[in-house]
Amino acid sequence: MSAKVEIFCDGACSGNPGVGGWGTILRYGTTEKELSGAEGMTTNNRMELTGAIKGLEALSRPCRVVVTTDSQYLVKGMTEWLRGWIRKGWVNSKKEPVVNRDLWERLLELTARHQVEWAWIRGHNGHAENERCDALARGAIDDFRREAERLMRR
């Protein structure tokens, strides 16, 4: 695992729940790749997780990865809560089923291939990659809405 990849990701939602988007930047040395997408009725937290998932899915071989996000939900989930959820049969501290279990399980599956470090940064605070990921996510929401309107006019 000599390759070191940086993944920056963000999620956004217009209404929560509502139309959501995610944006991801992958960086390997001086090479960058941007990814984005959107979904209909979803939540901000689902989009935050999806941004990380899409970044990890884009990796073709095991790597050392630093995932940088403004989502404490994502970082704390992966670094603090996940082991307890699994140990307790996917229930949280309130004895309720873990929300977004499908995405947490996908993240767990993807991170098993890599050596992953999770880094939190304050959102909307001038961090260039975070601002770009937010713009990608919001652009995906706009594209989703435009396509939905186009289809409705048919």
Query: Which residue, among 136, 151, 120, has the nearest Cα to 25 in the 3D structure?
Result: 136
Q: Which amino acids are annotated catalytic?
A: 10-11, 48, 70, 124, 134
- Distances in whole angstroms, Cα of residue 12 to Cα of each of 1, 44, 54: 32, 5, 15
- Tell how strand 115-120 and strand 4-14 pair up: unpaired
Residue 48 annotated as lining a ligand binding site: yes
Residue 102 annotated as lining a ligand binding site: no
Which DSSP symbol is given to 43?
-
Known binding-site positions for Mg(2+): 10, 48, 70, 134
Known binding-site positions: 10, 48, 70, 134
